[in-house]
């Protein structure tokens, strides 16, 4: 058995990790922290976990308590991991960070998009970006894994195959994506209460504003980085000048992301050819479904599977690629376990569901 620690286990992604680890044949959660819930039984905060964790209680975050763990997952707000990761590296087998602290390779982007300089820029080159279908080669044995954000996962899976194939313009890419409310986290916020979200659909993180997001949503540079990077981690010539206009939306549902991505082909391509690009890129991938069917978030609920399709509009000539994932599984905790599996040298599908819950 592998000893597992979870920092920030009281949030939605932490609770999802606990759920997934409960079904994992070799992962044994030995410590779970949640400072705002310290002393609270996991089963009291999340009754769905009571059968597997009847006696586990949330502890205060103390890096020393994780010494000797085989894998430590970090499910913390932005900025918190930067101080903790240096204390964990070398004392645990693998650190898998679900936050944004080590996703961007360019430290200079953090002040612009996250409002402050990076506290441990020397570790950015050490972190492996944890999107296995695109960057699997760097994951075996990785000491530090940066799990992608949910929106970047959906967008990169949709767009990267076309950029790598050199069949679309790298500039002028548009990503419109909608997320369920769980993507905003467990903490109460005025804009995510039931009365605010029910029967509503709204965009947020708009670019060009003067209030909360003058540069646009902070996942934008991560999307651009992910789709302009080759499988070996290098930039490649075909993606020089990648630019993405990303607009996120909040949908009145618990889980799921649906990303609709638009790009301009630079080769003669119809819908069948576009689907072939996806099918060829993801042939044999256990967590990718490529189909002519229009993806839906309901089909992915509770699973680590992404559903993809593509069309070329014969009137405008534009490529449309649609991606659906569960934001808490493939967009966060499931992908984190997939990365931990690969880093640990076990089959990446271990303990992970491929089939969604319906209805």
Domains and CATH numbers, the chain: 2-126 (3.40.50.720), 151-326 (3.30.360.10)
Inform me whether the pLDDT recorded for 214 exceeds 60.
Answer: no
Cβ 131 vs Cβ 232: under 8 Å: no
Q: What is the rounded CA–CA span in Å between residue 216 and residue 77?
A: 19
Half-sphere exposure (CA, 13 Å, Cβ side) for 220?
26
Ramachandran category for residue 190: left, alpha or beta (phi over 0 → left; psi -120 to 50 → alpha): alpha
Per-residue model confidence (pLDDT) at position 237:
56
Percent of the residues in the chain that have a pLDDT greater than 90, as a whole number: 91
* Contacts (Cβ under 8 Å, ≥6 apart) of 358: 298, 299, 301
Q: What pLDDT, in 10s, does the model give residues 231-275?
A: 887 765 555 789 999 999 999 999 999 999 999 999 999 999 999
As annotated, the active-site residues are: 150
H/E element holding 341? helix 334-344
Q: What pLDDT, in 10s, does the model give residues 124-136?
A: 999 999 999 999 9
- Is this prediction's pTM over 0.85? yes
């Amino acid at each position: 058995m592998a000893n597992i620690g979870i920092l920030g286990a009281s949030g939605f992604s932490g609770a999802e990790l606990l759920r997934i680890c409960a079904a994992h044949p070799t992962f044994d959660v030995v410590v779970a922290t949640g400072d705002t819930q310290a002393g609270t039984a996991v089963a009291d905060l999340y009754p769905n976990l009571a059968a597997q964790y009847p006696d586990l209680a949330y502890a205060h975050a103390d890096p020393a308590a994780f010494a000797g763990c085989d894998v430590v997952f970090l499910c913390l707000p932005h900025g918190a991991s930067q101080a903790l990761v240096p204390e964990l590296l070398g004392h645990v087998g693998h650190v898998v960070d679900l936050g944004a602290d080590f996703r961007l390779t360019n430290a200079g982007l953090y002040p612009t998009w996250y409002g402050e300089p990076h506290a441990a820029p020397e570790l950015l080159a050490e972190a492996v970006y944890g999107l296995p279908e695109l960057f699997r080669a760097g994951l075996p044995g990785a000491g530090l894994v940066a799990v992608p954000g949910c929106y970047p996962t959906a967008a990169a899976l949709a767009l990267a195959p076309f950029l790598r194939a050199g069949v679309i313009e790298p500039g002028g890419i548009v990503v419109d994506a909608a997320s369920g409310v769980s993507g905003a986290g467990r903490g109460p916020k005025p804009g995510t209460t039931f009365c605010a979200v029910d029967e509503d659909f709204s965009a947020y993180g708009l670019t060009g504003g003067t209030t909360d997001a003058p540069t646009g949503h902070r996942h934008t540079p991560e999307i651009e980085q992910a789709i302009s990077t080759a499988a070996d981690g290098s930039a490649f010539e075909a993606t020089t000048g990648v630019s993405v206009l990303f607009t996120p939306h909040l949908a009145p549902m618990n889980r799921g992301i649906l990303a609709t991505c638009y790009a301009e082909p630079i080769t003669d391509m119809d819908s069948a050819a576009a689907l072939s690009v996806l099918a060829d890129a993801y042939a044999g991938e256990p967590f990718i479904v490529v189909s002519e069917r229009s993806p839906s978030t309901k089909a992915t609920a509770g699973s680590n599977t992404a559903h993809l399709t593509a069309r070329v509009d014969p009137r405008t000539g534009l490529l449309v690629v649609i991606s659906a994932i569960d934001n808490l599984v493939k967009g966060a905790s499931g992908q984190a376990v997939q990365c931990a599996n690969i880093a640990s040298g076990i089959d990446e599908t271990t303990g992970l569901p491929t089939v969604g819950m319906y209805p």
